[in-house]
Amino acid sequence: MPRLVSDFFCPNAGGVETHIYFLGQCLLKLGHKVIVITHAYGDRRGIRYLSNGLKVYYLPFLVIYNGCSLATIIGSLPWLRKIFLREKIQIIHGHATFSSMAHEAMFNGWLLGIHTVFTDHSLFGFADSSAILTNTLVLQYSLTNVDRVICVSYTSKENTVLRGKLDPRKVFTIPNAIETRFFCPDPEQFYGNPTTIIFLGRLVYRKGADLLCAIIPKCVIDRLNTAVLCKMKK
């Protein structure tokens, strides 16, 4: 039975949260039993059930910064071990480099002999203090014994292999994609009118802000209206 773990999940909104939710829904449709483990959000604590019976554990862990819980290495073991045994977990799937819950779950799962998978969602640098601490103290330590690693692009794979000093043969790429059927406009309302392109995202390097600067001039032509809508980083 797969188990998805991250500090980032509903009711919080974001790319990792959406990824985990829809991955869980797809696994449920394939007949797997799936649970999600995250930290509590306000009064959302304990066990909750989402669409199609997706079971979520909201654990009372201390959140210290930007939605991440306090890293304790083995402090979460009593909670996680009880869930592992109760739910008969077979695969632990951690998400996001900055999620201490994901790394602790994979480490504790390895101690118990459970298969582990990690998905890296973003690109990170090598020179700034945050990147150095994350790469050396977290990623290289946490992913030493992971069974498989998934990255969301080929560039992300190269980035993760270098940062984590991983064997490239156990790192796989499953590119991110958008289900375009969910966003098809009404032809009668939009076709024939000027085209408007909207960008919704954070203006930071690891989210492709540099690529956006290069693409916008190529998109702006005489008959094209381009609007840029940005969700600014706090």
* Structural contact between residues 67 and 7, judged by C-beta atoms closer than 8 angstroms: yes
What domains appear along the chain, each with residue ranges and CATH number?
2-173 (3.40.50.2000), 183-228 (no CATH)
What CA–CA distance (Å, rounded) separates 53 from 181?
24
- Please tell me the distance from the alpha carbon of residue 157 to that of residue 141, in angstroms, as a whole number: 18
Closest C-alpha to 153, from 131, 127, 135, 176: 176
DSSP-assigned letter for residue 216: H
Decide if 160 contacts 166 (C-beta within 8 A): yes
Identify the pLDDT of residue 168: 92
Q: In whole angstroms, what is the distance from residue 70 CA to residue 114 CA?
A: 23
Identity at 100, one-letter amino acid code: S
pLDDT digit string (tens) for the chain, length 234 residues: 667 788 888 888 788 888 899 889 999 999 999 999 999 998 888 999 998 989 999 999 988 877 888 888 778 889 999 999 999 999 999 998 888 889 899 999 998 999 999 998 887 877 777 778 777 777 888 888 899 999 988 988 998 898 888 899 999 999 877 777 777 777 777 666 666 677 777 777 767 788 888 887 777 765 555 555 555 554
Residue 3, H or E segment: strand 2-5
Residue 169, number of CB atoms within 10 A of its CB: 7
DSSP string, 21-74: HHHHHHHHHTT---EEEEE-BTTB-EEEE-GGG-EEEEE-PPEEETTEEPP-TT
Q: What is the largest CA-CA distance in the chain?
A: 63
Q: What integer pLDDT is reported at residue 126 of this predicted model?
A: 78
Residue 229: the pLDDT is 53
